[in-house]
Amino acid sequence: MSTLPVCQTLLLELHNGVLHITLNRPDSRNAMSLQMVGELRAVLTAVHEDRTVRALVIGGAGGHFCAGGDIKDMAHAHVQGPTACRELNRAFGTLLQAVQHAPQVVITVLQGAVLGGGLGLACVSDVALADHQAQFGLPETSLGLLPAQIAPFVVQRIGLTQARRLALTAARFDGTQAKRIGLVHFVEHDAQALAERLEEVLAHVLCCAPEANARTKQLLLASAGQPADALLDEAAGWFSDAVTGAEGVEGTQAFVQKRKPGWAL
């Protein structure tokens, strides 16, 4: 049996072979801080070899899944310089790779904000369930930034054509649209229906042999091809250039000041 780490940004509940992981920064709509990234990676490491843990269910506290990266962390990294910006960005890509390759079945329960890094997490889950009113989007370019670590996983999930449209317009879309483009598998109209769908999916997962599932997931991912370390490393450099450049500074300041950036019409 795994020993789970003590977490400050996550709530953990292990029951009948299912580990429920709740992103727990509701005051920031569960924005993905560097601390949360580290804690999620620690949890994944702790259960990686434990086949008694059959599924990981990732949700968010306070009615939201995840509103993306933490602006405070970005501001702190900006002060430290380009290397810190690059390392901050690359850490999230490493987390996405870890979730993608978790031997357990990863299920995301998507409500409220599913933006930026939150959308990235949805893209690396094996089964995604969404509320019909959940709000999805890749807002990075509207902030003068790049979805640097997320983009390869989004392309893998929904294809290049849809990924280009969403990333280059920063358009918001709901759960119904997310299902239409293949980002999520099930859409429900209320919390009760979402809970019932989760129980149904888990019942199917628990009918499958855990090691067979782990090997099958490995086979499927190998068949589809994976975002390479080299690409994510390079993308982190591009992110650093963006966040420390004129557009990134203007975009993030405009976000904090709740105004339109200078380029917005």
> CATH topology for 10-190?
2-enoyl-CoA Hydratase; Chain A, domain 1 (3.90.226)
pLDDT tens, position by position, 131-169: 999 999 999 999 999 999 999 999 999 999 999 999 999
Alpha-carbon distances, residue 37 vs 1, 34, 64, 240 (angstroms)? 23, 5, 17, 18
The two three-digit tokens of residue 245, written as one number: 């450049």
pLDDT category of residue 231 using cuts at 50, 70 and 90: confident
Most confident of 80-89, 114-123, 225-234: 114-123
Residues 6 or more apart from 60 whose CB is under 8 A from it?
22, 23, 24, 26, 29, 30, 66, 109, 111, 112, 118
Structure-model confidence comparison of residues 250 and 213, the more confident one: 213
Domain boundaries, the chain: 10-190
Q: What is the pTM assigned to this prediction?
A: 0.93
| C-alpha–C-alpha distance, residues 47 and 50, integer Å | 5
Q: Residues 21, 57: contact at Cβ < 8 Å? A: yes
CB atoms within 10 A of CB 208: 14
Residues 6 or more apart from 208 whose CB is under 8 A from it?
none
| CA dihedral of 74, 78, 84, 86, whole degrees rounded to 10 | 70
pLDDT category of residue 227 using cuts at 50, 70 and 90: confident
Taking 80 as the threshold, does the pLDDT of residue 1 lie above it? Answer: no
